[in-house]
Amino acid sequence: MSYDFDLFVIGGGSGGIATARRAAQYGAKVGVAEVDRLGGTCVNRGCVPKKLMVFASHFPAQFAEAEGYGWSPVSSTLNWSKMITAVNQEVIRLNGIYQKMLDNSQVQLFPAYAKLLDTHTVEVGEQKITADKILIAVGGHPVKPELPGIEHAVISDAMFELPQQPQNILVIGAGYIGVEFSCIMHHLGTKVIQIVRQDKILRGFDEDIRTTIQEEMEKHGIKILTRTVPTAIEKTADGLKVHLKTEGKPDSEIVLVDAVGLAATGRKPNIEGIGLENAGIEVKKGAIAVDEYSRTSQPNIYAVGDCTDRINLTPVAINEGRAFADSEFGGQPRLMSHENVPSAVFSTPEAATVGLTETQAKSRYGEEAIVVYSTKFRPMYYVLPGKDEKTLMKLVVEKATDRVLGAHMVGDHAAEIIQGIAIAVKMGATKADFDATVGIHPSSAEEFVTMR
């Protein structure tokens, strides 16, 4: 049977575009449907604008730290509007780059909503398009909890579009998005209260990372309320009144803030209304079910990225998509491994991790089978400014094989350092391999090869 396209991609985020371009390089005729701006959550409402705001938030501390090195005091104020405009202009620039990449790859873009009609037919706007293979890469979206007055809260996606800087904000949620936004806003000069349902932030991360970041955030001045949940939000002439209930306290507490940020209350696959039922595609736990090759229950339809709810990170979606394209169009069958995927939390201080946490390693191999090496110190940079900023580094090692199962860090440039460490962990490096590596002195990173 003849089809309009060899591959049609539903979704123009990072995963979808990477897949489309890779397939086109192998000679496939490819189309992409995206009703929104190209680049998906990461470029438009996530990683990119967030990281730019992280950079902006670091300058006040750097101004103060410079005095310890002999520089005269700096008096500077933030122009919120200028910052937000600059961030959004960069996003627009990246949208244009994605468009050029598609054009250069001869991938046809359909700027319209797409819906599956059957296993080989997609309705795109007013058109019906057929394809031999179909890739679903529609990502996810933030979920608002059911709460009286929740319409007054700002979801994480919209934090980059606030027209004015809030003087004070309450952040709901303890995940990495909530932690990152709390740190960003605090260091930009906003008073921050973060409410956490449990005792600690960052569930799923290594316990030492969780403890260290929470302690540092509180030391910097962020108020973290644990065992606390919101019960209602009221809009008043003076701001937003948020009713809070803390476990063990008989009475509710009311706080008055300029804004409420829903930063970590969950995300879900963006699969409603795209016609999965028309193509008989299986959904499990609210996500598209796929096998190790990203194949759905229909052999010619695949899915990658957040809509599959495996590891919801942009580089994972890109790698999943490229593995699919290599396998199906490049004659190079390969799997995307979801083991030892590094990740980072762009909080202040920053954290990064790869491999198993200490808890996971002991659960998998047994308490006595694991040895942990760790260090905590003040980096040289903070000595002259006289600041008590700490860096944490940790290696989780299997005794029997000496293999490094996990590496974790909290501190400046953690993501840059762990990216390199991740290669060693992925290759199965041992603690002896780390010990045999000569450190770069003086640097924080050398501690990873000197721990005893």
- Report, at the CATH architecture level, how domain 150-265 is classified: 3-Layer(bba) Sandwich (3.50)
Does 330 have pLDDT greater than 90? yes
Does 264 have pLDDT greater than 70? no
Q: 3-state SS of the chain?
A: CCCCEEEEEECCEHHHHHHHHHHHHCCCCEEEECCCCCEHHHHHHCHHHHHHHHHHHHHHHHHHHHHCCCCCCCCCCCCHHHHHHHHHHHHHHHHHHHHHHHHHCCCEEECCCEEECCCCEEEECCEEEEEEEEEECCCEEECCCCCCCHHHCEEHHHHHHCCCCCCEEEEECCCHHHHHHHHHHHHCCCEEEEECCCCCCCCCCCHHHHHHHHHHHHHHCCEEECCEEEEEEEEECCEEEEEEEECCCCCCEEEEECEEEECCCCEEECCCCCCHHHCCCCEECCEECCCCCCECCCCCEEECHHHHCCCCCHHHHHHHHHHHHHHHHCCCCCCCCCCCCCEEECCCCCEEEEECCHHHHHHHHCHHHEEEEEEEECCHHHCCCCCCCCEEEEEEEECCCCEEEEEEEECCCHHHHHHHHHHHHHCCCEHHHHHCCCCCCCCCHHHHHCCC
The pLDDT-based confidence of 318 (bands split at 50, 70, 90) is very high
Question: What's the pLDDT tens digit per position in 331-356?
Answer: 999 999 999 999 999 999 999 999 99
Six-digit token pair at 49?
Answer: 């604008």
pLDDT of residue 356: 98
Q: Region 217-228: what's the mean pLDDT? A: 97
Alpha-carbon distances, residue 215 vs 88, 212, 358 (angstroms): 32, 5, 19
Q: What is the mean pLDDT of the chain?
A: 95
pLDDT of residue 265: 58
pLDDT of residue 250: 87
pLDDT of residue 433: 98
The residue annotated as part of the active site, out of 141, 186, 338, 441, is 441
CA Rg value for the chain:
24
pLDDT of residue 159: 81
| CATH 3.50.50.60 boundaries in the chain | 5-142+268-329, 150-265
| CATH 3.30.390.30 boundaries in the chain | 349-449
Contact 32, 108 (CB under 8 A): yes
Six-digit token pair at 160?
Answer: 């980059």
CA dihedral sign, ordered 364, 370, 375, 376: positive
Q: Region 384-392: what's the mean pLDDT? A: 97
pLDDT of residue 141: 87
CATH class given for the domain over 5-142+268-329: alpha beta
Residue in the structure block whose two tokens are 């057929």: 130
Question: What's the pLDDT tens digit per position in 35-78?
Answer: 999 999 888 888 999 999 999 999 999 999 999 999 999 999 99
Contact 397, 431 (CB under 8 A): yes
Question: What's the pLDDT tens digit per position in 72-107?
Answer: 999 999 999 999 999 999 999 999 999 999 999 999
pLDDT of residue 158: 80
Q: Region 384-393: what's the mean pLDDT? A: 97
Question: What's the pLDDT tens digit per position in 125-159?
Answer: 999 999 999 999 999 988 888 899 999 998 877 88
- Report, at the CATH architecture level, how domain 349-449 is classified: 2-Layer Sandwich (3.30)
pLDDT of residue 255: 96
pLDDT of residue 1: 80
Task: Give CA 274 to chain center in angstroms.
Answer: 24
The pLDDT-based confidence of 263 (bands split at 50, 70, 90) is low
**Catalytic residue flag (residue 338):** no
Q: Region 20-32: what's the mean pLDDT? A: 98
